Structure 1
Amino acid sequence: MMPDLGKYAVTVLSSYGVTLVLLAGLVALSWARHQRVRRALQQAEARTGREG
């Protein structure tokens, strides 16, 4: 169900592609930061003797 984009098809589809790649990169960076922060929090809690 793709609309006829005519001579703009390459431009529009490449824009969608770039957007998807950038969104995937943001998700990956966010996930990596989440893992780093969670690990640091666990280490800090272990040093203070608290468990979560």
Structure 2
Amino acid sequence: MMPDLGKYTETVLSSYAVSLVLLAAIILLSLRRARRVKKELQDVESKVKTNG
């Protein structure tokens, strides 16, 4: 079902692979940062509750 890419097959497929790897990296970094920010927010909120 893949179209015939001729002499550009290697270039096109490697571009797709690089794009998928970069997208996966962006997603993983975003999730990791979200967890870190959530933990920091919980720490700040707990400090406010104990001091407030």
The TM-score with structure 2 as length reference comes to 0.92
* Match of residue 18 from structure 1: 18
State the percentage of identical aligned residues: 56
Which amino acid counterpart does residue 28 of structure 1 have in structure 2?
L
Quick one: which amino acid aligns to residue 44 of structure 2? A
Q: CA deviation at 1:18?
A: 0.2
Paired with 1:17 and 1:43, the residues of 2 have a C-alpha distance of: 39
**What's the offset of the Cα at 1:37?**
0.3
CA distance in 2, matches of 1:46, 1:37: 14
Does residue 45 of structure 1 match 2:10? no
Matched residues, number: 50
Shift of 1:10: 0.2
Structure 1 runs of 4+ aligned residues shifted over 3 Å read: none
TM-score normalized with structure 1 length: 0.92
Residues in 1 aligned to 2:5 and 2:31: alpha-carbon distance in whole angstroms:
35
Measure how far apart 1:30 and its partner are: 0.3
Shift of 1:32: 0.5
